[in-house]
Amino acid sequence: MVDEGSAPRRGRRRQVNHAGGRQRVIQVRVSEAQDRVLRASAERAGMSVQRLMVTTALRGESAADMSERSELTDTLLRLLHAVASAGVNINQMAKATNATGELPENLDATIEWMRATVRRIDAAVDQVGVQ
């Protein structure tokens, strides 16, 4: 099986392109302490400070909410990768079963693991709010 603790690949960190571009510029002055907090929050959320500020303001989410959403999304991506890898293992078991006529001894455990992982994916999707 796949190690679920492996580091996930991060997707696109930039915002999706906007038709006509983004013409408005807003400048914000912050103290050094505020800058450190913003940068740390943005790093935890996996985005730029600018994107964090815009997204947070428009969604009404706090930086902690966004960080939690980012962590849940990473978990979801790791689980999806694990399911894909398990699918390869199940296909190999099916091939061996077709060749020998005997079921592999770990087939039941693998299928139960797959079911439990799919339940975890469903729970993560519910938490992230993906529909």
- Residue-wise pLDDT for 76-121, tens only, equals 788 888 888 888 888 888 899 999 999 888 888 888 888 888 888 8
Burial degree of 27 (CB within 10 A; 0-12, 13-18, 19+): exposed
Residue 68: is its pLDDT beyond 50? yes
Tell me the pLDDT tens digit for each residue of 28-58.
Answer: 898 898 898 888 888 887 888 988 888 878 7
Question: Whole-model pTM?
Answer: 0.45
Report how far residue 26's alpha carbon sits from residue 24's, in angstroms, rounded to the nearest whole number: 7
Of residues 87, 95, 38, the one with CA closest to residue 66: 38
Q: Could you state, in order of their start, the residue ranges of all structural domains in the chain?
A: 32-128
Question: What topology is assigned to 32-128 in CATH?
Answer: Helix Hairpins (1.10.287)
pLDDT at 99: 93
- Phi/psi-derived region of residue 101, left when phi > 0, alpha when psi is between -120 and 50, beta in every other case: left
Q: Name the average pLDDT for the chain.
A: 78
Total Cβ atoms within 10 A of residue 29: 6
Is 80 exceeded by the pLDDT of residue 3? no
Integer Cα distance of 94 and 98 in angstroms: 6
